[in-house]
Structure 1
């Protein structure tokens, strides 16, 4: 058996249209597809009784970001600190972190301004409309 390869990175959201606007308009990801999935097989597969999902796939330059709005909606699992067990974030590379930071709309929450780590990588964490962490980085 050959090893797996990445297909997508999923982010659960409460309002798909609002999240598409953020990832498309603020982070410049192109929308590749929108679709819905439901039925007993889907609910069984995701382990949520009666589950249905509305999805959007976005192009992140060689990686696919999958935004999904579920019915029924689960409990909020966002907003915590990045060092908490189970915390997750989406990492997106940008060419010029300072320019990206300057172009962010005022209502986009950041954890700090751009920082240069010991490894030389420049990082900036922002929160999407559902409080999910997104790391913008310049290697």
Structure 2
């Protein structure tokens, strides 16, 4: 058996075009590819009857290589998850680092929701949680 290696981080969204706009403009991610998948094998794999999906792979670069952020919009669309709360078992978030979280926060468009202003934790890391249009959480932290 081969050792697993990271491939992508998936984020389910309700409107792919809106999500691509948000992630490219807010986080300066680049669109690498867009595609659609459907058919019986896909529906079986995701355990959703009649499922099809549109995908966009966005690339976040850095000194340690690239991370692919996979945005996916499903048909049929499922029920939205509850309001984002990080202390719920099963809660997930995407983590992205920037040189300066405070500067990133100051440069955010006024309509971008955050959980709070940037905070420096007792570990010395400055963090900020951004909420995407579907309620998914993105943690910004100092590089």
TM-score by length of 2: 0.94
Where do 1:84-103 residues align within 5 Å?
84-103=88-107
Corresponding position of 1:107: 111
Residue 102 of structure 2: SS of its match in structure 1?
helix
Residue in structure 2 matched with residue 29 of structure 1 by the alignment: 29
Q: Deviations over 1:6-47 (max 9, x none)?
A: 100000000000000010011100000000000000000111
Change (3 A) 1:78 1:94: farther
Paired residues in the alignment total: 139
SS in structure 2 opposite 1:60?
strand
Instruction: Tell me, in whole angstroms, the C-alpha distance in 1 between the residues paired with 2:42 and 2:51.
Output: 7
Unaligned runs of 5+ in 1: none
- Report deviation, 1:78: 4.6
1:134 aligned onto 2:138: yes
| 1:82 to 2:74 alignment | no
Query: Unmatched 5+ residue regions in structure 2?
Result: none
Which portions of structure 1, spanning 4 or more consecutive aligned residues, are displaced by more than 2 angstroms?
A: none
Structure 1 length normalisation: TM-score? Answer: 0.97
2:49 equivalent in structure 1: 49
What's the RMSD between the two structures over aligned residues? 0.9
